[in-house]
Amino acid sequence: MEIRDICEGTNLLEVKGLEVHYIVDKDVSRAVNGISFVINEGETLGLVGETGAGKTTTALALIGLLPMPPGKIVQGEILYKGTNLVGQNERYMRKKRGGDITMIFQDPMTSLNPLISVGNQIMEVVLLHENLSKLEATKRAKMMLETVGIPGDRYNDFPYQFSGGMKQRVMIAMALACDPRFLIADEPTTALDVTIQAQVLKLMNNLKKERNTAVLLITHDLGVVAEVCNRVAVMYAGHIVENGPVEQIFNDMRHPYTQGLFFAIPDLDSESEFLKSLEGLMPDPMHLPEGCPFHPRCSHCMEKCKTEVPPNLEVTPGHLVKCHLYP
Amino acid sequence: MKKLLEIKNLKKYFPTELGRLHAVDDVSFSLEQGKTLGVVGESGCGKSTLARVVVHLLEATGGQIFFEGKNVTNPNKSQMHTLRQNMQMVFQDPYASLNPRMSVSEIIGEPLKIYHINRNRKEYNTRVDEIMDTVGLASRLANSYPHELDGGRRQRVGIGRALALKPKFIACDEPVSALDVSIQAQILNLLKRLQKDFQVAYIFITHDLSVVRHISNDIAVMYMGTLVEKSDSKELFRSNFHPYTKALLSAIPRPKIGANKERILLRGEITSPIEPSEMCRFAPRCGYATEKCFKEKPLLEELLPNHFVACHHVREVNNLLD
């Protein structure tokens, strides 16, 4: 398959005004507050943000794994190939999940079943979603293992016999076994060492190109984003504060939070003694501030920011910023 | 400047059912007052064990540790009591390393009580306030408990506790790995400022190479319990000679568009550190390995002034043949 130019891909997934709350007794934790984005076929969108920004909640909502209760999709639509996934029954979601839409979880150590051989775990997915015999499914599982660089004769080995990087490969094999159109990868390399991370990223990049899979990559590592993403969405306190092509975000970031994130990373090429750090902490989702959620930490804060939520503004084509600085 | 800490041929083996696991094998280095030695390597390479042996949380299997010129490898109880005042540690996980039943002021004040530093309650309270102020904790948090604090503040408590006795040396074991980048920057700045103000020496253990370059004067690269390369930190990023260092540095994803696309991908993963044979431990993954590498252990040699490398083929690999 040819590597298609990202701009020409067709709209595969569209999220419109998604709002997710966690409701415990009378307390409402506003985890995701009206986010919208589009992922085209074959495109990789990086969802970046710090702990508690709502990245994982977004992912779980997309794949229909949000624990409900306490979770609740209050508003918004998730359109997959034009069909709204919000409000679909469990039977429908089960068919989609693992087949069309799949997910790789952060921790490969705990997301595999320790009592089932890795081969059988992959085979199970194939049997559920494809009309294949057990023998054919076994063959497919073996092939998938080999695709991710694990010898097929380790089919009958158990997760404990694999190292962290190998387990993450098994997860990738499982996620790609039914040739999904859309893959959600939640911090797929965070638990891995850099040299192993490099192997896994290269593998994901190759497979993605071969199969033209669209990917939502959740991460807090901007280095990983620079390497694999076409577009980036920066999340803060449940809002997407900036969204645009990766070159735009890295070379011309506009939102003060995005700028803060970039300045906080020690640069391998600079000699500065102290880092520019963002003071303060992310707000508690139970008590979000009025107006722009970032205003208490923002050095450009104006009166307007304290009362009005800024609108999404397109500063250059495809580059959206949610900040009052840009009228 | 005077050497504060000197480590000679330090070894730490753990007994296992299959034999001895060589966690730290023949590691030597020294550290001056007010300086930072960064130790990098991947999980399981023995960097945390090294830090723990140096501060005597684990007993060394072999080798010597000198602190301010005195041999302190096997201190007795009273010697340890004196030594601990100058040797402290900051731990990786700020969630697990604080006693959940003690308040912030109790945690920070405990070392002061153990060493009877203060003559009366008033002096003690002033000192605790002072330490909290130094590490950037608001005094209203004095009676809070760890579970009420976020990760960044907890790590500040851990640093405050380590700092309470005004030690000359602190071993920091991945102190920012559990924190978000914006919080990580706050803690790194704090550690740097404390070093300037109090002339503390750090051993800074981390797997994050951009962090280690930022904070260290010297960097030691570890692979399976051995030092493979050691040099000035800026120098190491400019020119590095060991094949493992090269692969490690090239594997860092850089937050820049179009940055390092050339990448040395290593084959396979770390091999077993249980009873390893006399050989270069990196050889099974090394693209340049020859028969010699599987038979002989390379020694650390000073290739350039203050730049040490342990590799049989360092000259061929880097075209340094003369």
pLDDT digits (tens, 9 = 90+) for A42-55: 899 999 988 888 88
Q: How far is the alpha carbon of A197 from chain B, nearest alpha carbon, in Å?
A: 8
Q: How far is the alpha carbon of A203 from chain B, nearest alpha carbon, in Å?
A: 11
pTM of the prediction? Answer: 0.82
A174: number of Cβ within 10 Å: 25
Given an 8 Å threshold on Cβ–Cβ distance, is B265 in contact with A227?
no
- Choose among A50, A199, A275: nearest Cβ to B265: A199
**pLDDT tens for each residue of A282-298:** 888 888 888 899 999 88
Q: How far is the alpha carbon of B16 from chain A, nearest alpha carbon, in Å?
A: 18
User: Mean of the pLDDT values across residues A146-171?
Assistant: 85
pLDDT at A2 over 60: no
Q: Taking all residues of chain A, what is their mean pLDDT, rounded to a whole number? A: 87
- Choose among A223, A268, A274: nearest Cβ to B237: A268
Q: How far is the alpha carbon of B184 from chain A, nearest alpha carbon, in Å?
A: 8
Given an 8 Å threshold on Cβ–Cβ distance, is A195 in contact with B255?
no
User: Mean of the pLDDT values across residues A265-277?
Assistant: 78
pLDDT at residue A98 in the model: 82
Given an 8 Å threshold on Cβ–Cβ distance, is A197 in contact with B182?
no
Partners of B188 on chain A (C-beta within 8 Å) are 266, 275
pLDDT at residue A321 in the model: 93
Partners of A222 on chain B (C-beta within 8 Å) are 255
pLDDT at B94 over 50: yes
**pLDDT tens for each residue of A88-103:** 888 888 888 888 899 9
pLDDT at residue B319 in the model: 81
Under 8 Å CB-to-CB from A194, ≥6 apart: which residues? Answer: B42, B207, B209, B248, B251, B252, B253
Partners of B211 on chain A (C-beta within 8 Å) are 266
Given an 8 Å threshold on Cβ–Cβ distance, is A198 in contact with B265?
yes
User: Mean of the pLDDT values across residues B6-26?
Assistant: 91
Partners of B236 on chain A (C-beta within 8 Å) are none
* pLDDT band (50, 70, 90) for residue B261: low
Query: CA dihedral in degrees (A97, A103, A105, A109; nearest 10)?
Result: 70
Partners of A206 on chain B (C-beta within 8 Å) are none
* pLDDT band (50, 70, 90) for residue A6: very low
Q: How far is the alpha carbon of B183 from chain A, nearest alpha carbon, in Å?
A: 7
Partners of A262 on chain B (C-beta within 8 Å) are 255
Question: Strand pairing partners for A244?
Answer: A232
Of A324, A289, A322, the C-alpha closest to A305 is A324
Q: Taking all residues of chain B, what is their mean pLDDT, rounded to a whole number? A: 89
pLDDT at A281 over 90: no
pLDDT at residue B322 in the model: 56
Question: Strand pairing partners for B36?
Answer: B202
Q: How far is the alpha carbon of B104 from chain A, nearest alpha carbon, in Å?
A: 19
Structure tokens at A272: 């500065």
Q: How far is the alpha carbon of B289 from chain A, nearest alpha carbon, in Å?
A: 18
Of A174, A184, A175, A176, the C-alpha closest to A78 is A184
> Nearest-CA residue of chain A relative to B43?
A193
> Alpha-carbon distance B55 to B43, whole Å?
20
Partners of A162 on chain B (C-beta within 8 Å) are none
Given an 8 Å threshold on Cβ–Cβ distance, is A163 in contact with B269?
yes
**Is the ipTM, as predicted for this complex, more than 0.95?**
no
- Choose among B210, B234, B257: nearest Cβ to A266: B210
* pLDDT band (50, 70, 90) for residue A217: very high
User: Mean of the pLDDT values across residues B297-321?
Assistant: 88
pLDDT at residue A195 in the model: 79
pLDDT at residue B185 in the model: 87
User: Mean of the pLDDT values across residues A221-233?
Assistant: 90
> Nearest-CA residue of chain B relative to A203?
B265
Given an 8 Å threshold on Cβ–Cβ distance, is B189 in contact with A227?
no
Partners of B266 on chain A (C-beta within 8 Å) are 195, 199
**Run of H or E including A218:** strand A214-219
pLDDT at residue A1 in the model: 32
- Choose among B151, B181, B266: nearest Cβ to A195: B266
* pLDDT band (50, 70, 90) for residue B57: very high
pLDDT at B260 over 70: no
Task: Provide the angle, in degrees to the nearest 10, between the axes of the packed helices B181-198 and B151-163.
Answer: 20
pLDDT at A4 over 60: no
Least confident of A26-40, B87-101, B135-149, B270-284: B270-284
User: Mean of the pLDDT values across residues B25-35?
Assistant: 93
Task: Provide the angle, in degrees to the nearest 10, between the axes of the packed helices B104-114 and B121-134.
Answer: 120
Given an 8 Å threshold on Cβ–Cβ distance, is B182 in contact with A264?
yes
Interface size A-B, in CB pairs within 8 Å, comes to 111
> Nearest-CA residue of chain A relative to B41?
A193
Distances in Å between the Cα of A171 and the Cα atoms of A199, A202, B66 are 14, 15, 47
At residue A219's C-alpha, the angle toward residues A218 and A225, to 5°, is: 100
- Choose among B182, B247, B253: nearest Cβ to A50: B182
Question: Strand pairing partners for B65?
Answer: B7
Structure tokens at A67: 């624990």
What size, in residues, is chain B?
322
pLDDT at residue B29 in the model: 93
pLDDT at residue B13 in the model: 93
pLDDT at residue A3 in the model: 37
pLDDT at A269 over 80: no
Given an 8 Å threshold on Cβ–Cβ distance, is A221 in contact with B266?
no
* pLDDT band (50, 70, 90) for residue B265: confident
> Alpha-carbon distance B294 to B275, whole Å?
14
